[in-house]
Chain A
Amino acid sequence: MNEQIKPVAIPGEIIKTGKEYLPGEWTMRIGDNIIATKYGIIDESGKFLRVIPVSGIYTPRRSDLIVGRITDITFNGWVVDVDAPYSAFLPLAEYPKFISSEELAEYLDIGDLILCQVNKNKRKGVDLTIKGRGLGKLDDGMIIKINPNKVPRVIGKEGSMVSLIKNYTNCEITVGQNGIIWIKGKELKDELSTKKAIEFVVEKSSVNGLTEIMKEYLENGGKK
């Protein structure tokens, strides 16, 4: 197995010293030093230094596709838990059809899951929308939660990893940027295989050549 050890950043640690370096995400400059401000992997692009976090709560960005759970209903919308530092809000106006304030619970009730998109950043939290293809209430299937920092790995370059898994397990898979992944298969056992495959990717996320390893894993019927 090709295991490459990438340099680890610890908060407070000096990554590089020199005025020519530029402090990127999760770093800061103190005098001549560039210091890490988060636990993660150091990434160097020329003189540009940043830390790629491996942990930490999901922070919503505009246009992120995420999965949320309805936790409350107000007169003009739904309060949604998206596993972020703040609750999100889905305004009535962002529902794809016209409904009145009395009907809110009939369409989306507390405990329901929705696939939605981050529409607007507010000071504390975000507004969501479910106007868009494929967005809306998740009626069937199951969800699993992974570390949101691993989402890019699970999706893969241009969706290559998630497509690989989809092909082998015959399941619909939607990966929310907040680490909540929706899976729907024709057979329940396919859903379980998909769940295991995704958990395997997360486990091996720091390894090089993961695509090959996954191909082998899936061909062996999901045995490690």
Chain B
Amino acid sequence: MPQCAAFGAQVRFVTDLGFGYLDDGVRTHRLEIDMLNQLLATCLTERAAEVLARYPTLFVPVDSPDAARESFRRARVG
């Protein structure tokens, strides 16, 4: 069951040439890899609501920690 479904759009991203390209459903953002690391890690903690307040279109679809781990580790799209 995806978390934070109320926030709507799903986030998809790739990493390339040292940057993360994160599409929030409205547009694609370019983030420093460190910032992307921080953002994605934070999304899986109790600070998720704080992050989502800051990035209102942000939504990370994960069904389980393993799914998130796999998805984020390989930086796969979809």
B is bound to A:
no
Q: What residues of chain A have their CB less than 8 Å away from a CB belonging to chain B?
A: none
